[in-house]
Structure 1
Amino acid sequence: MNRILIHILFIIAVLGCGLLIGINNIPGEWYQSLAKPAFNPPNWIFAPVWSALYIIIGFVGARTFLNYRASAAMRFWVAQMIFNFAWSPLFFGFQEIALALIVIIALLISILGFMAVSRRQDYLSALLFVPYLAWVSFATLLNTSIFLMN
């Protein structure tokens, strides 16, 4: 299959799944009622940030699939997608702040694992995950703060 087509398919799949999960797990009254830290960003910022990150994640996933399909990097990439897609339903859908915190920590670890093993074989992919790592680190701090405050 054409490499460009694989990149497009990965981006569409990741972005599409992320948007579908986001639409079905919109922060509602429950979330609004929670105590949140002063650094909690406005709700409108999450959709554009995640959309940009999902495009990057899809691009990196395609690169890894095409070049290192049977590698530890691909396994970490799949793991981080599972944790990523599990977080919103746990936090917003099931309102399980503690369980969501465990999942986001696992997500953070899997992102770091991906970056560590990719750095040697595909430095660009590891580098492209830096904004994702920064955002998930911030989200982990936010999840932790909400857990402790509620």
Structure 2
Amino acid sequence: MLSFHTKDICPVCKNKAKEVSAITVKFLVKDEYLKELSSVKDFFYCQTSDCEVIYFKLNEIIKQEHLIKEVGLKEWANPKTVCYCFNWTKEKISDEVNKLGKTNAIGDISEKMNSIGCDCEHKNPSGKCCLKDVKKIIKELS
């Protein structure tokens, strides 16, 4: 186990990370690894694409192999899921942009959020709504 002290700085890549809810950690970490954690509270989510760390807190690190699903924003992910609730990937958005010159990802996600609802806190590794990430991907591809 690595030892570090700045609570929101990733111990591996040294980038600032964002807090993630205990609900998200509990839902996405495999059961066999949950037992090894001191608790599911107070974790941070490392969004750095080439960093092996997904979640961390003082003296505890959770990596991809500890999770039940792949983190789409990490460079090794295939496919690169950006919307976990409605199955939008970077590849799907790219295909739409290449074929149609645009994508309906934002419209589709927004419509489904309003009609059937989303479950970002359980499904998205960040524990947050994906729309910011989807918009970033669209901007990159445009």
Structure in which a larger fraction of residues adopt helix = 1
TM superposition score normalised by structure 1: 0.29
TM superposition score normalised by structure 2: 0.30
Higher-RCO chain (CA-CA 8 Å, sequence separation at least 6): 1
Structure in which a larger fraction of residues adopt strand = 2
